[in-house]
Structure 1
Amino acid sequence: MATSLSNVNSDITDRNTGLQHNTLAWITTRGTDEFATFLFTSLLTNEEFKHQFIQRFAHQLNTTFKSNHASELLSSMIATIERDMHSHINRWEEPINYNQWEHHIQQLQEFVTNRPTHLREYIQSHFQLHGFVEINIAKATTEQITMASYDFEVEEGWTGKYFNDVPLTIDIPNASDINASSTDESVVSVDNNHQLVFVGSGESTIIFSDDLGNHLLSIIVKVHS
């Protein structure tokens, strides 16, 4: 673990390897390495797969790779191995001293803080998307929902950023005959599969209820074109 944290690229802003590396462009245009790109690029020609990929990517940036979550995880890892770093350096001379190790840690912290911004820009540019959509869970009487095909524990007040021009599917597991409606369909409409379709700029509230009219979930959607 200590070794992996010390072997950080010396220039974390390097566009070829660092936090500004456009991984999506790299994996879709690797020149002669067609064997490495063929499957993924072929899948992207399927509209359904492409939409799922985009919004699932967004969901991961809102959860697993959210800056504060990744930073907390990094801090936990650092705290676990920090007490052994002096002994590690004395034995293996890698990194060359404790100051260098701290420098690498600072680079990692910068990476987990700023990487999501660059990734959103690359997704938006590659797929020629216009603007973002803010999702805010305003009120919920259910403990779990499915968003972008991921099971997701509901937390009132939670916010996330998704991409405009791409439908976002939201569902409630173990609930039957769900009704979903939009307070402003000129901003967001909802189809029979509970896909949110972003129509125009503005704000709308999506209300989910069961067949008896009991409230399940309210989500405020702000569309920025």
Structure 2
Amino acid sequence: YAPWTAVVPPRLQHEGESKDAPNIFAIIRQGDLLVHHPYDSFAASTEQLLKEAAEDARVLAIKQTLYRTSDDSPIVKALIRAAEKGKQVAVLVEVSARFDEANNIEWAQILETAGVHVTYGLVGLKTHTKATLIVRSEGDRIRTYCHIGTGNYNPKTARLYTDLGLLTCRPELGRDLVNLFHFLTGYAPGQRYEQVLVAPDY
């Protein structure tokens, strides 16, 4: 087969190219964005969301699950950058990801050193979900932005594997991810969800 070069989704093609161009948060506010990897660029969508969130002064918090990532992960670098800029960053690192145990433990230690709140999964369960929650202050309100996907936060495998990712700011999904991360980080067991189906209950 001929090599495939991922394309930038049409709604993201002019994102950030000038000071008047909408940023990724404004684009997501216009409506949900579904990306299909490897055909849609991971770097221009999911990765860009994390990079902008790390630099955006309005972003208060970032929470993410990490199952597998690359050796030189721009995702982890963005999370570290966010923590260095004073944002609340919490990451669940799944240390029982098959064949990636040592790599994930190393990333977890690096994240902790940078000031990220790291948890290591739930006893007896493997956390295979791929989810990101971004909390942003906008005027007199707080808005949540979410990424929910089927693929790992790994820019290398995102060029090879077929996966879907949803970028959204729908409040009901934001509430569900807030509750999910409360559960995953140990703050509040027994959460209820409006839209998402969370194992092992479903």
* TM-score, normalised by the number of residues in structure 1: 0.26
Between Structure 1 and Structure 2, which shows a larger proportion of helix residues?
1
* TM-score, normalised by the number of residues in structure 2: 0.28
Structure with max Cα Rg: 1
